[in-house]
Structure 1
Amino acid sequence: MIEIERKFLVNSTAYKNEAKSEIRLVQGFLNTHKERTVRVRLKGVQGFLTVKGKSTDDGLSRFEWETEISKSDAENLLKLCEPTIIEKIRYEVELGTHIYEIDEFLGDNEGLIVAEIELDFENETFEKPKWLGAEVTGQIKYYNSQLSKEPFKTWKK
């Protein structure tokens, strides 16, 4: 239940031509304590409840537990979440043996596009597509829980 993930900015929309899927996500946080976050997510018509632990110092790894819940339960729990609800379109791109999840944020985070790749071990090598930009792994401002508190539109450009 340890998630190993690297996060990158995206420098073009070329990923859309390579995407095998596209789905709308709506998510909120019941808890955003620095030691743990509790997230509620609607992924299309599926609901999920996720608990994430504190990241390692480099931001690569952290505990993650997730379970599927009903759409109705997710909708009700979203009403209890801390401000602000995050909305985004997620694209999945297969490259080699990995899948990139590219999140195109909407609403208060519109203009931000972030790609994530899950790895089996921290120093695993992986292919990098041309549309992949600067790495932001471990930069807290790019965590969804932080984007709910300090949306992209409020950042100084």
Structure 2
Amino acid sequence: MPQEIERKFLVRDDSYKAMAYKKKRIRQGYICSERGRTVRVRIQNEEGYLTIKGPSDVSGMSRYEWEHALSLQEAEELMRLCEPGMIDKTRYLVQWGTHVFEVDEFYGENNGLVVAEVELTDEKETFECPPFLGEEVTGQVKYYNSFLMKSPYSKWGENLPENCQNKG
């Protein structure tokens, strides 16, 4: 089974923008956003993708992930089947050491949130931290895109839903 292993961090400043070698606009919705299984439709620039993710392991770093490329038309059609709410963000790619950090700057109801992720080949793999990395939030459910769709960052001053369990 294909596994995704990643760590997630808040971003402390916008220095990542000058460091980025590429950026892309992403819109995504969820056909299913149940805890432990998500089916996501993504339009990235002019490309479409369907992604299925399984539950995270205990550390929150690793989970099953399957992705399939779609035509733009197929992705747009599937977007109509998505649950209410949409994720809109720009992803900046920053090479730092031997790793690529994906920095997501969110818009809409998640405006103001900026999160960086680094994919790893092993949970114990070490990496160099770029200066823009802040607090680690790996495994904290409220930072999952599927959660942000239902409980946007702009509303976090209000109480989080009961099913939100933050680790760490």
Q: TM-score normalised to the size of structure 2?
A: 0.92
Tell me how far apart the structure 1 counterparts of residues 117 and 22 of structure 2 sit (CA, whole Å). 15
* C-alpha distance in structure 2 between counterparts of 1:57 and 1:140, whole Å: 12
Tell me what 1:103 maps to.
104
Q: Quick one: distance in 1 between partners of 2:151 and 2:34?
A: 15
Distance 2:90 2:103 in 1: 8
- What is the one-letter code of the residue matched to 2:126? T
Q: Secondary structure of the equivalent of 1:54?
A: strand
1:27 maps to amino acid: Q
Residue type at the aligned position of 1:107: G
Q: Which amino acid aligns with 1:87?
A: D
Structure 2 match to 1:84: 85
Q: Which runs of 5+ in 1 are unaligned?
A: none
CA displacement at 1:80 relative to structure 2: 1.1
Where does structure 1 differ by over 4 angstroms across 4 or more consecutive aligned residues? none
What is the SS of the residue equivalent to 1:76?
A: helix
Letter in 2 for 1:24: R
Q: Deviations over 1:53-81 (max 9, x none)?
A: 00011100000000000001111111110
Report the Cα distance in structure 2 between the residues aligned to 1:49 and 1:17, rounded to whole angstroms: 30
Q: Distance in 2 between matches of 1:64 and 1:123?
A: 19
How far apart are residue 144 of structure 1 and its match? 0.2
Percent identical residues: 53
Give the root-mean-square deviation of aligned CA atoms.
0.8
Q: Does 1:37 align with 2:56?
A: no
Q: Which residue identity does 1:128 align to in structure 2?
A: C
Q: 1:137 Cα shift?
A: 0.2
Q: Which amino acid aligns with 2:95?
A: E
What is the alpha-carbon distance in structure 2 between the residues aligned to residue 89 and residue 7 of structure 1?
16
Q: 2: distance between equivalents of 1:111 and 1:128?
A: 22
Counterpart of 2:155 in structure 1: which amino acid? T
2:68 corresponds in structure 1 to 67
Partner of 1:20: 21
Post-superposition offset of 1:97? 1.2
Deviation at 1:35, TM superposition (A): 2.3
- Secondary structure of the 2:122 match is coil
How many residues in Structure 1 have an aligned counterpart in Structure 2? Answer: 157
SS in structure 2 opposite 1:100? strand
Q: TM-score, normalised by structure 1?
A: 0.98
The CA distance in 1 between the partners of 2:100 and 2:113, in whole Å, is 20
